[in-house]
Amino acid sequence: MKKLEELLEWGGTKRDIAFLVISGAALLASIAGLSPFPFDMAWIAIILCGIPIILEAVIGLVTAFDIKADVLVSIALIASVIIGEDFAAGEVAFIMQLGGLLEELTVAKARAGIEKLVHLTPRTARRITKSSISTASPASGTSVSTKEEIIPAEEVQVGDRLRVHPGETIPVDGVILTGETSVNQAVMTGESLPVDKGPGDEVSSGTFNQFGAFEMEAVKVGEDSSIQRMIRLVQSADAGKAKIVGIADRWATWIVLIALSAAALTWLVTGEIIRAVTILVVFCPCALVLATPTAIMAAIGNATKHGFLVREGDALERLATVSDITFDKTGTLTYGTPRVTAVKSFLPGISEAQLYRYTACSEQNSEHPLGKAIVQCYKKENGETPGSPEEFHMLPGRGVQAVAEGHAILAGNPELFREHGVLLPDSVKTAAASCLQDGCTVIYIAVDQQPAGFIALSDTLREDAASTIDEVIRTGVTPVLLTGDHENAARHIAEQLHISQVHADCLPEDKLKWIDEDQKNNRQVCMIGDGINDAPALRKAFVGIAMGGIGSDIAVDAADIALVNDDIRELPHLLRLAKRMMTTIRINLTFSMTLNFVAIILAITGILNPVVGALVHNAGSVLVIVNSAFLLTWKQRHAKMAEH
């Protein structure tokens, strides 16, 4: 049996296309009565398209007693050949294989997201060990020195002391012992801004140390580390997602039973076997098999023109039934990069423009993402590059100390000011508090040891985010904000977008848990995200949509659909298109079943013979394909007109 399965898989899609082309040409030659061989050319279609169907039916029946549509097709094929209706057998085999090919083309290939996650796992770690050294003088005894050795990350033990250099990935979960740094935690939390870390702060495996070397103690290693938990979350989420079964296969048992019963009764009552075979032929669910895949392929073609890459064949089928759509904030509803949103000066004689210029000049040599953002925003807003500082000192975890245009500048957090004896007045704190409440990050600035003001930075909304959310609500789907960012930032964004459901400070497992609980309450969830931290949720959700342009490869691999150009304005169109596709499928199914019913009555009364019955099915299949093709040019404005 295994050899039969391997034989069926030989060549894959290319083989199927070649067989269909050859079979189609053979059937046309059969209709024209042309044949260079001593047999009907329809036999080529029977052999190339019919035998794989029969083998599939046999394998399904023998291995799992699985009755699918191909069982009835096989019976009709064999019966048609027995009574000499070769063309009818070849035509039915051709149509069924065409339907099977269309279904194959809509099913995504195996994805490599988990492998890419595995590649994110740090390979090595710098372990610090102590060693005793004897001194030359007996009175001095021995001294203790430290040695750094590079070891495989999987050999790190709990309690080991590790050193992490700038630009390296943190190998295991742990706690910082010495050193100041800034860590990009987007892998785990999706936060748009890096987080300053110092002694006593926790760090996670897989996150990126941007600058500043530090030493840490390993707390969670191996399978317990954050990145390994992420891998297991993705695997478990994917395993729990059920696939939709084709309508023809779902009803196959009843179709086979009714067809065989009708054919047997007709033969017994009329004594004409040709009528019985005709019933089997017209009962073959050709149009029924084509009803769904043709509509899906046409809808996928439409979605592609609007910037969506549909990676799973049944993704649109599932999308049509979603009730909630969850958005990650950073990179999805926002641009994912910090921008200057406010400059406030409280020092007489120094304008906000001057304060901005002094700070941009001071940050010119900074490696911190916030410092770089200030410089980039200054260039963009003023059309000039700030000058270089005369002096510059980077203070990890605090800020920068510089001399710009002859002024001593401090730019950083309150700890920096305390260390340099600069007292922040209440007026500055009060003004900064409103920015912090809106989820901004505040950089305090002192000029010549005097508190001068602050610069606020935040991740900014996409220009089309508000209108997109409004359109999503109009489609009848509830938007939900599900983010790893802080509560204040999440609430501020949600208020601007009229999103009532907000869940902030979510780790990957939190997002996964929320989606799982919502779906257990019979609410199908669509998840839209862009980061590695979104991968488990994208897999778990009923439908996952990844931002393909700015999103990580792992997020795209975990999703069913990728938005290639990151233009979320097209999202409402996709939701409406999915619902329109399901309407088209229902029309196709109703038409094909009605056609079957009429054809069966005509076959029982003897009006149809096997060849004419096969041609009727052929015509029905063509009409189904034509109806589905209208989806290729269906546009969102049709849906808007329908609403009015």
In this predicted model, what pLDDT tens digit does every residue of 199-233 receive, in sequence order? 988 888 878 888 778 999 999 887 777 667 656 54
Strands 525-529 and 543-547, bridge-based pairing? parallel
Which domains does the chain possess?
Answer: 123-168+173-220 (2.70.150.10), 308-334+462-575 (3.40.50.1000), 339-459 (3.40.1110.10)
What would the two tokens of residue 549 be?
Answer: 């342009």
Using CA atoms, how far residue 467 sits from 33, 463, 475, 485, in Å, is: 61, 9, 13, 22
pLDDT at residue 287 above 60?
A: yes
Angle between helices 273-283 and 69-82 (to 10 degrees): 150
* Residues ≥6 apart with Cβ < 8 Å to 324: 477, 478, 479, 480, 518, 523, 524, 525, 526
Out of 115-129, 234-248, 328-342, 474-488, give the one with best mean pLDDT.
Answer: 474-488
How do residues 569-581 score in pLDDT, each as one tens digit? 889 999 999 999 9
Quick one: pLDDT at residue 12? Answer: 56
Instruction: Decide which of 15 and 115 is more confident.
Output: 15
Lookup result for tokens 């998840």: 527
Burial (CB count within 10 angstroms: exposed 0-12, middle 13-18, buried 19+), residue 329: buried
CA 350 from centroid of its chain's CA atoms: 49
Q: Which of these ranges, 62-66, 177-181, 201-205, 631-635, has the smallest mean pLDDT? A: 62-66
CA 80 from centroid of its chain's CA atoms: 47
pLDDT at residue 639 above 50?
A: no
pLDDT at residue 315 above 60?
A: yes
Burial (CB count within 10 angstroms: exposed 0-12, middle 13-18, buried 19+), residue 459: buried
Distance CA 155, CA 160 (A): 10
Distance CA 156, CA 171 (A): 9
Distance CA 355, CA 76 (A): 84
User: What is the mean predicted confidence (pLDDT) over 31-40?
Assistant: 80
> Is the Cβ–Cβ distance between 507 and 189 less than 8 Å?
yes
What would the two tokens of residue 508 be?
Answer: 């990957």
Quick one: pLDDT at residue 396? Answer: 78
pLDDT tier, 37 (very low <50, low <70, confident <90, very high otherwise) = confident
> Is the Cβ–Cβ distance between 10 and 51 less than 8 Å?
no
How do residues 515-537 score in pLDDT, each as one tens digit? 888 888 888 999 988 766 777 88
What would the two tokens of residue 639 be?
Answer: 């849906």
Quick one: pLDDT at residue 553? Answer: 62
How do residues 91-142 score in pLDDT, each as one tens digit? 778 877 776 676 565 443 333 444 444 555 678 899 998 765 555 555 555 5
How do residues 329-366 score in pLDDT, each as one tens digit? 777 788 777 889 999 999 998 999 999 999 999 999 88
* Residues ≥6 apart with Cβ < 8 Å to 305: none
Distance CA 428, CA 241 (A): 52
Quick one: pLDDT at residue 215? Answer: 92
pLDDT at residue 51 above 70?
A: yes
* Residues ≥6 apart with Cβ < 8 Å to 115: none
pLDDT tier, 462 (very low <50, low <70, confident <90, very high otherwise) = confident
Distance CA 165, CA 151 (A): 15
- End-to-end alpha-carbon separation of the chain, Å? 58
Active-site hit among 249, 328, 485, 566? 328
Quick one: pLDDT at residue 6? Answer: 43
- C-alpha torsion angle, residues 222, 226, 228, 230 (rounded to 10): 170
Instruction: Decide which of 5 and 455 is more confident.
Output: 455
Rg (CA), the chain: 33
CB atoms within 10 A of CB 335: 18
Strands 450-461 and 478-482, bridge-based pairing? unpaired
How do residues 52-89 score in pLDDT, each as one tens digit? 878 877 887 777 666 666 676 777 778 778 877 788 77
> Is the Cβ–Cβ distance between 172 and 225 less than 8 Å?
yes
The one-letter amino acid code at 255 reads I
pLDDT at residue 276 above 60?
A: yes
Quick one: pLDDT at residue 227? Answer: 66
Quick one: pLDDT at residue 241? Answer: 44
> What residues are paired with 262 via a beta bridge?
none
pLDDT tier, 391 (very low <50, low <70, confident <90, very high otherwise) = very high
Nearest alpha-carbon partner for 544 in 335, 308, 227, 331: 308
Q: What is the SS3 assignment for 77?
A: helix
Told to judge if 516 belongs to the known catalytic residues of this protein, a careful annotator would answer no
Nearest alpha-carbon partner for 215 in 118, 148, 310: 148
Nearest alpha-carbon partner for 88 in 76, 99, 104: 76
pLDDT at residue 509 above 60?
A: yes
pLDDT at residue 468 above 80?
A: yes
What would the two tokens of residue 365 be?
Answer: 């040599």
Quick one: pLDDT at residue 270? Answer: 82
Phi, psi dihedral angles at 90 (to 5 degrees): -65, -40
* Residues ≥6 apart with Cβ < 8 Å to 531: 186, 187, 190, 328, 330, 331, 551, 552, 555
Sign of the alpha-carbon dihedral angle for 523, 526, 531, 537? positive
Quick one: pLDDT at residue 325? Answer: 93
